[in-house]
Chain A
Amino acid sequence: MKTEILHRKLERYINGEALPAETRQIQTWLSCTTSEQQLTAAEKMQLEQDILQEIQAHTAYPLFYPKKEKPWWQKITAMF
């Protein structure tokens, strides 16, 4: 499919003006999840932390709502 046609279809889909066939086509594409792209555990952890830091920087929630230090007995029970 040509990119111009796809662009017009997506534009109509976003504006809620797509034809039923176009909607079906886009939704089928959205639903199709075949190939798996896996990250290594280390990459995954790093990326998880990076994105969370970006969210924290944007919302500044750690400043507004700092974490309360848990009592020592709760820290110990959480280990088990």
Chain B
Amino acid sequence: MSRTFTSDQELIDRLLSNDTEAFEELYRRYWYSLYTYSLKKLHSSNDARQIVKNIFIELWEKRHEWPANFSVSQHLYTSVRRSVVECLNEKLENDDYTELVEKQITEGFSAEALQNARKPVQQRQSAPTASELTRQHTISNEGPKNHALNMASMKWLLQMVAAKLD
């Protein structure tokens, strides 16, 4: 196995000249993430496997049609999302799968599940930043201290003025 890193763009360029090694390198790079994503969504290893297979067959068969600025990762992740939706839709058309889908998948569409999916982002947004925390800490702790310091210096200044006047 070669240890030199080849960019996706270079592999796609090589794919145009029917380089099967470039295709297999792309497959090895992406198949697992596409597979696990499909598996998580559909709870079926057969469906996940079928989706990965179809996506890479399409990638190979349409290799001469991809545009010049083609992003393979973007294409693969868009394809897997579309395939998951289509597969779920097909399952819902089939009465044999309805119960299975109801048990495992429709829960994910509930308002509660979708809110939970957004939660970490909301928490991150509402949590104060490090600079805000520092500022709050400085104001709360050093505010009275600074005030006392100012009062002391004012007293000293007044005493000095009074002494000069005397």
Contacts and interface: CB of A to CB of B under 8 A. Distances in A.
Dominant secondary structure of chain B at its interface with chain A: helix
A47 B106 CA distance: 28
Contacts of B110: 1
A47 B35 contact: yes
B114 to A, nearest CB: 5
Interface residues of A, number: 38
Given A10-B88, A11-B89, A35 B109 contact: no
B20 A65 contact: yes
Given A14-B85, A51-B52, A55-B57, A3 B21 contact: no
Interface of B: 1-3, 18-21, 23-24, 27-28, 31-32, 35-37, 39-41, 49, 52-53, 56-57, 60-61, 81, 84-86, 88-89, 92-93, 98, 101-102, 106, 108-110, 113-114, 117-118
Interface of A: 1-3, 6-7, 10-11, 13-14, 25-26, 28-37, 44, 47-48, 50-52, 54-55, 58-59, 61-62, 64-65, 67, 78, 80
24 contacts: A1-B110, A2-B106, A7-B89, A10-B89, A10-B92, A13-B85, A14-B89, A25-B114, A26-B85, A28-B117, A30-B41, A36-B36, A37-B36, A47-B35, A51-B35, A52-B31, A54-B53, A55-B53, A55-B56, A58-B57, A65-B20, A67-B20, A78-B1, A80-B3
